[in-house]
Amino acid sequence: MTESTTATVTTTHGSRYLQQLCKHWSHKLEVEFTPTHGTIRFPSGVVATLAATDDTLGATIVAPDAETLERMKGVVADHLDRFAFREAPLPFVWR
């Protein structure tokens, strides 16, 4: 059984952060992205999907179990905050 969570944060730089994160992880992980959509596949079976609009950045994480999901929420948010250092921490509210 898989677990999933989604968060959307308000930012006018969502596309920039999405692309920076995808480029960062593309050196080690399977990554596909455009300026408005990104998919990152981790060896553990986790899939993170990012979506950017003019004023938001959305993140969805699907993981094989609740423990992995909880850990990956922090990993994704921490990495995005590094690229968003001018507005970090981004207010992720996972649902």
Q: The domain spanning residue 27 has which CATH number?
A: 3.30.310.50
Cβ pair 29, 40 in contact under 8 A: yes
Q: Residue 18: inside a domain, yes or no?
A: yes
- Lowest average pLDDT, out of 5-19, 31-45, 80-94, goes to 80-94
Structural domain contains residue 16: yes
- Helix boundaries (H) for 1-95: 14-25, 66-83
pLDDT digits (tens, 9 = 90+) for 42-60: 999 999 999 999 999 999 9
Q: Is the pLDDT of residue 1 over 90?
A: no
Question: Residue 41's domain spans which residues?
Answer: 8-83
- List CB contacts of 12: < 8 A, sequence separation 6 or more: 54, 55
Please check whether residue 60 lies inside any domain of the structure. yes
**What is the model's pLDDT at position 28?**
96
pLDDT at position 38 over 80: yes
Among the residue ranges 13-17, 45-49, 65-69, 91-95, the one predicted with the least confidence is 91-95
d(CA 61, CA 3): 8
Q: What is the mean pLDDT of the chain?
A: 96
Residue 37 counted as domain residue: yes
What span, in angstroms and rounded, lies between the C-alpha atoms of 17 and 36? 10
Q: Is residue 92 part of a domain?
A: no
If one counts the domains in the chain, the total is 1
Please check whether residue 90 lies inside any domain of the structure.
no
